[in-house]
Homo-oligomer: A and B are copies of this chain.
Amino acid sequence: MDAEVSKLLQVKARLNNNEDNTKSKFILKTPKGMQDYGPQQTSVREVVFETITKCFKRHGGQSIDTPVCELKETLTGKYGEDSKLIYDLADQGGEILSLRYDLTVPFARYLAQNKVGNLKRYQIGKVYRRDNPVMTKGRYREFYQCDFDIAGPGHPLIADSECLRVVYEILHSLDIKCFEIKVNSRKILEGLASVCGVPDGKFKLICSSIDKLDKLSWEEVKREMCTEKGLEESVANKIGEFVKLSGDISLADKLLASDLGTNEAAKQGIEEVKLLFKYCAAMGIDKVMKFDLSLARGLDYYTGVIFETILSGEQEVGSIAAGGRYDDLVALFSDKKHSVPCVGVSIGIERIFTIMERNEAARKFYPTKCFVMSAGKDMTVERFKILTELWNADIPSEHSLKSNPKPLTQYQFCEEKGIPFIITIGGDELSKGIVKIRDIRKRVDVEVKRVEMVQHLKKLIDEM
């Protein structure tokens, strides 16, 4: 007995040790599916954000900023099957919170909470999804979305078509020219489901299956519909006939002449898509649009037109912009059923970054224009005085962190970073009241009076 106890105690001790080892072995990494952006990536992103923001403002967009966290209840029941991907915060006493899953639901919450009935808003921010990350394809668990939404009553399709124009302008100004905007309507899908005999209450389930058609084959989607979601095979086959259809807007009249034309919802949806194409033609963007019955979108809240933009020839990259109309979402948050019709689009810029970074890899992104060097010992204070003059004149400038740095090391640093000018000061220069300015690319030195230093350097920078 004693022997057994002692053996068990030994095992226990070993287990404890293991636990301690595991604890002390610290793993140096970012969370799974989340990444750091270094200085070069950040500088590319800055350019992209500026371009996008400029377009949003061109359309009268105003920005809002909402918390990264929302009450868990705010997000509940908005995302269909994808709700399982929401990140929850630990219950540390107090409210139960989740990380935001998109920027649309927080926007609707904002409208309802502040009783705002009209707003063109944009928001750029990170969202969180506990999805299976595929970093090489730009699929992360933390990623930026750039959203533009138009909230407020209006006549059909006026706001919707402006959203498509926004997508078009942004992609063009980012020099992305081969893309296609797929368009469909939840109303058409609703009519289609009814015409094909999908039982009431299964519509959203079926939508999220159809939504997978960009990644799975029809056979796989059909299997999911029949086995997982209990649809009869004959019904699935009928759906299959419709979701095959896509093309330009001439498809609309063909659909109106088919079974779909007999269904009120489908008919209305098709007429709306026709009007969308008409307005988009006025804005010169109908040529990049495709009416596609297989487009469904996974989220619960869409009620009308839906759309998704993909890069031509890069099907596997997935959509880079998507959105639609969601007229009932704000009312879900309002005690007095204050309803605000909305339509919006979300630009998924991670994928755009991936493309941009390829193009811009060689771009110079180091901000410093002038490096201040000292010749001779103990010139740190003099360097600070010169730097202060440069900073006061808004010239990005820096120096070595060492008191007596070696000239060669400083030159190498400037060449490596692409810093174009060096100002050198030594005892000689100091007594003569001058500084030396070196143009690194031209390998030319000039001596200028200290009082003319800033003016001269500014001229050199302007002439670059």
Q: Is A366's CB within 8 Å of the partner chain B? A: yes
Chain B residues within 8 Å of A433, by CB: none
- Digitize A30-74: 1 where CB-to-B-CB distance is under 8 Å, 0 elsewhere: 111011111101110110000000100111111111111111010
Whether the pair B62, A367 counts as a contact (CB closer than 8 A) is: yes
- Digitize A412-454: 1 where CB-to-B-CB distance is under 8 Å, 0 elsewhere: 0000000000000000000000000000000000000000000
Query: For chain A residues 154-212, which have a beta carbon within 8 Å of chain B?
Result: 154-155, 158-159, 161, 165, 169
A282 is contacted by which of B31, B284, B384 (Cβ under 8 Å)?
B384
- Chain B residue with minimal CB distance to A341? B401
Chain B nearest Cβ from A80, distance in angstroms? 18
Whether the pair A384, B283 counts as a contact (CB closer than 8 A) is: yes
Q: Is A223's CB within 8 Å of the partner chain B? A: no
Whether the pair B110, A36 counts as a contact (CB closer than 8 A) is: yes
Chain B residues within 8 Å of A387, by CB: 283
Q: Is A265's CB within 8 Å of the partner chain B? A: no
A402 is contacted by which of B26, B65, B158 (Cβ under 8 Å)?
B158
Query: For chain A residues 123-159, which have a beta carbon within 8 Å of chain B?
Result: 126, 128, 130, 142, 150, 152-155, 158-159
Chain B nearest Cβ from A36, distance in angstroms? 5
Measured in the bound complex, the distance between the Cα atoms of B248 and A69 in whole Å is 44
- Digitize A354-392: 1 where CB-to-B-CB distance is under 8 Å, 0 elsewhere: 000000000001111000000000001110110110010
A153 is contacted by which of B63, B161, B165, B401 (Cβ under 8 Å)?
B401
Q: Is A246's CB within 8 Å of the partner chain B? A: no
Measured in the bound complex, the distance between the Cα atoms of B119 and A368 in whole Å is 13
- Chain B residue with minimal CB distance to A61? B367
A38 is contacted by which of B37, B67, B114, B278 (Cβ under 8 Å)?
B114
Assess A73 versus B26: contact at CB under 8 Å? Given A36-B66, A282-B384, A380-B155. yes
Number of interface residues of A (CB under 8 A): 98
Assess A67 versus B34: contact at CB under 8 Å? Given A57-B396, A61-B367. yes
Chain B nearest Cβ from A403, distance in angstroms? 4
Whether the pair A385, B90 counts as a contact (CB closer than 8 A) is: no
Measured in the bound complex, the distance between the Cα atoms of B61 and A290 in whole Å is 45
Q: Is A464's CB within 8 Å of the partner chain B? A: no
Q: Is A322's CB within 8 Å of the partner chain B? A: no
Chain B residues within 8 Å of A284, by CB: 388
Q: Is A242's CB within 8 Å of the partner chain B? A: no
Chain B residues within 8 Å of A404, by CB: 155
Q: Is A297's CB within 8 Å of the partner chain B? A: no
Query: For chain A residues 85-118, which have a beta carbon within 8 Å of chain B?
Result: 87-92, 94-95, 97, 99, 109-110, 112-114
Chain B residues within 8 Å of A165, by CB: 388, 391
A42 is contacted by which of B65, B99, B155 (Cβ under 8 Å)?
B65
Assess A68 versus B401: contact at CB under 8 Å? Given A36-B114, A90-B91, A282-B381. no
- Chain B residue with minimal CB distance to A366? B62
A62 is contacted by which of B29, B32, B43, B278 (Cβ under 8 Å)?
B43
Whether the pair A154, B402 counts as a contact (CB closer than 8 A) is: yes
Chain B residues within 8 Å of A388, by CB: 165, 282-284
Assess A64 versus B87: contact at CB under 8 Å? Given A59-B391, A109-B28, A387-B283. no
Whether the pair B95, A32 counts as a contact (CB closer than 8 A) is: yes
- Chain B residue with minimal CB distance to A413? B118
Q: Is A325's CB within 8 Å of the partner chain B? A: no
Whether the pair B57, A367 counts as a contact (CB closer than 8 A) is: yes
Measured in the bound complex, the distance between the Cα atoms of B92 and A41 in whole Å is 31
- Chain B residue with minimal CB distance to A97? B31
Chain B residues within 8 Å of A334, by CB: 28
Ordered by A's residue number, 27 sampled pairs between the chains whose C-beta atoms are within 8 Å are A29-B71, A30-B113, A31-B70, A31-B71, A31-B95, A36-B65, A36-B66, A39-B62, A39-B121, A42-B64, A57-B396, A60-B367, A67-B142, A88-B90, A90-B90, A94-B130, A152-B401, A154-B402, A155-B380, A155-B404, A165-B391, A278-B381, A279-B381, A282-B384, A282-B385, A282-B388, A283-B388
Interface residues of A (CB under 8 A from B): 26-32, 34-39, 41-43, 45-46, 54, 57-71, 73, 87-92, 94-95, 97, 99, 109-110, 112-114, 119-121, 126, 128, 130, 142, 150, 152-155, 158-159, 161, 165, 169, 278-279, 282-284, 333-335, 365-368, 380-382, 384-385, 387-388, 391, 394-404
